[in-house]
Structure 1
């Protein structure tokens, strides 16, 4: 991370699903102009981390400070208003609402993003603005999920497996979109299995195993960490 206080500072984060202890003292940071990728095999705790940060788990312990304010213990709507916006793994769009309705229902007046501004960045959505979300292709639904998250005016965008199940050509378009958002100054925390995507988008990477960060470094360090990658990651495009 570059100098200065981190935008997101997670320390000693524990989380449970019922009696199952999933996160075991996880710590990570995201700087104010950074994209950080969370890597790890299925079950390592990546999605649980995202859900804990967004107030979607009832049982958590530790600290997660966002812009200097503690997130843990706050309700999800308050966390969203503070500027943390999640694109969930299964997109979570409203299938019966049109593309435009999905965006307008999420739009916050204070956001620099509006449905009108989104059409320029998401031209495929502009062409289908009156189409119900459930009638879109998988790639279009993912773009809609990201556009809808932007309507909230995030200070930090969380993306959980954004390329899962998408064709390679759609993944390329999504990578270009994320790089544009990054160039525009939007920090991101990215959960992703595709290492090519992580290398193309993220500044730093953190590998999780059994609910802990067991390795962290920049993209050059990740390229040199072949042993860690082979032991702890699903080798997709490694």
Structure 2
């Protein structure tokens, strides 16, 4: 396990500025959230890579700005649009190859658009196969407003896709969907390859670490047992913290918790 921070925390600050702010403050592992099409240009992505190299930062994952369009792009009955979407998503995968990122975060279909699990997995697998051509793992995030918000649906994905069913576990999205992060983790086990972490409690479902009641130490202990190769990315909204120092403090807190979980797991 390795702690990191998503550039999405600093949205709507420009991506290159967000990455620089995290890097210059000693955060050495990140998820990059691409906010618009021009941020996929090779020259722009190469600039991000120079920042990563300069500050010795690694990038584990990439989150696409186009996720709200994925229901139309991937899950309609218009096959040509699916083919075009797969070609477009190769731009993300090319960017990831430059950045050294391995995990692609996918939202998928809205839960208001009723399709079968079989149809969903057929389309998802097309993207998985395309990602593999670039050495990329496409991972389904458990987004509450999407079909994937349900643990039962994610279990269907494992049943239908086997080892090709990979997941990003987002703790705040689990709360919003009425699911339990521990249940998701213990059920899906090493099918979970990435984590978006925040605290939650009476004050909200997306809080700084230690501001809520979520037993993060226990969660990381289970994660160490079930899927120890995950990156654990702090993902907060801009309204959930005051400044960059909060992100740095949260990052180090997660680092210390991971170290404790690893030490305990090694006993």
TM-score by length of 2: 0.35
Structure with more of its chain in strand, by fraction: 1
Structure with more of its chain in helix, by fraction: 2
User: Which structure's relative contact order is higher, taking Cα pairs within 8 Å and 6+ residues apart?
Assistant: 1
TM-score by length of 1: 0.38
